[in-house]
Amino acid sequence: METLAPTPEEQFQARIDADIRIEPKDWMPEAYRKTLIRQISQHAHSELVGMLPEGNWITRAPSLKRKSILLAKVQDEAGHGLYLYSAAETLGTSREQMLADLHSGKAKYSSIFNYPTLSWADMGCVGWLVDGAAILNQVPLCRTSYGPYARAMVRVCKEESFHQRQGFEIMQTLCEGAPAQKEMAQEALNRWWWPTLMMFGPKDSESPNTEQSMKWRIKRFTNDELRQKFVDMMVPQAEFLGLTVPDEKVKWNEERQAYDFGEVNWEEFWAVVKGNGLCNHERLQARVQAHEEGAWVREAALAHAGKRKARETVAA
């Protein structure tokens, strides 16, 4: 029998299996390209929208030190969005198209940012819990199969650990403060715990894309694996702070060497994904407004660059 030459798909999978990174101009299946554009742009949008709940507290930070830190963190997030948009652009989509999809509601971003930041302790929880969860998601992405995405994630991860530490420090300061401050910390944890667990996405049994993404080594761990890791990491940290995780079912399981925990409210998860969270409307509106009101700046900069180039050409 004649052996058939491997198809492009088979060659592609063989490279993936050998852990050879895929680069922008390499052949790739259309579905791989599409999956990556969706995932990377969604990730970029999350960084962009993620600036909004924290932006709320820049002018209200309790000290100049906290304000400087928060500004630096929000600036990092803009940078992370940019690294990721650039990575997605190498796949043939445009910045304008991605932003248009975000603004029309076609593209998603992490649902966590559709929850409000009501107290200063929320800045602690966003850093400690939300960025903590983000890091768990992102660290394996440093080894994802698409080169530009992996390289962007290396840079993001380096910067993200400061975000988590500053969040933990806010929580620690509150927990070591007056009873009212500790209460504020506990109240924020109560609100952020479950939404953070939702950040890892639907249960494996209800996540249709996971299998293919694992095969292509875009994802390295499943949603449930990462969620479990997160709980195992965070419960002792909450205990250290003297805070209680708002889940009665949290209990160390000696046999599994992991914490048991309760079921996420999936109804709430899907409601927020579908646009019915507390802040979906507000976040998107803020984004669209910023984009539209900035249009003249983008146009003016381009016109200015054009005029200057024309002057240089005449002079030369």
Partner 1 sequence: MNNSEWPLWEVFIRSKQGLDHKHVGSLHAADAAMAVQNARDVYTRRLEGVSIWVVESKHIHASNPDEAAEFFDPAADKVYRHPTFYDVPDSIKHM
Going by their DSSP bridges, the two strands 251-253 and 258-260 should be labelled as antiparallel
The Cα–Cα gap between 30 and 163 comes to 35
CB of 85 to partner 1, least distance (A): 9
Torsion of CA 196, 150, 225, 216, to 10 degrees: 130
Residue 282 CB burial class (10 angstroms; 0-12, 13-18, ≥19): middle
Q: Which of 12, 32, 57, 83 binds partner 1 (CB under 8 A)?
A: 83
Residues 198-227 that bind partner 1 (CB under 8 A): none
Q: Is 302 in the site for partner 1 (CB under 8 A)?
A: yes
Residues 124-183 that bind partner 1 (CB under 8 A): 151-152, 155, 159
The Cα–Cα gap between 270 and 274 comes to 6
Phi, psi of 133 (to 5 degrees): -65, -40
Q: Where are the beta strands (DSSP E) in the chain?
A: 251-253, 258-260
Q: Is 89 in the site for partner 1 (CB under 8 A)?
A: yes
The closest of 13, 76, 89 to 47, measured between CA atoms, is: 76
Q: Which of 143, 256, 308, 311 binds partner 1 (CB under 8 A)?
A: 308
Q: Which is nearer to partner 1, 56 or 86 (CB)?
A: 86
Q: Between 246 and 275, how does the x/- string for binding to partner 1 read (CB under 8 A)?
A: ------------------------------
Whose structure tokens read 């806010």? 170
Q: Is 310 in the site for partner 1 (CB under 8 A)?
A: no
CB of 247 to partner 1, least distance (A): 37
Q: Is 97 in the site for partner 1 (CB under 8 A)?
A: yes
Residues lying near partner 1 in the complex (CB under 8 A) = 23, 25-27, 72, 75-76, 79, 82-83, 86, 89, 94-97, 151-152, 155, 159, 295, 298-299, 301-302, 304-305, 308-309
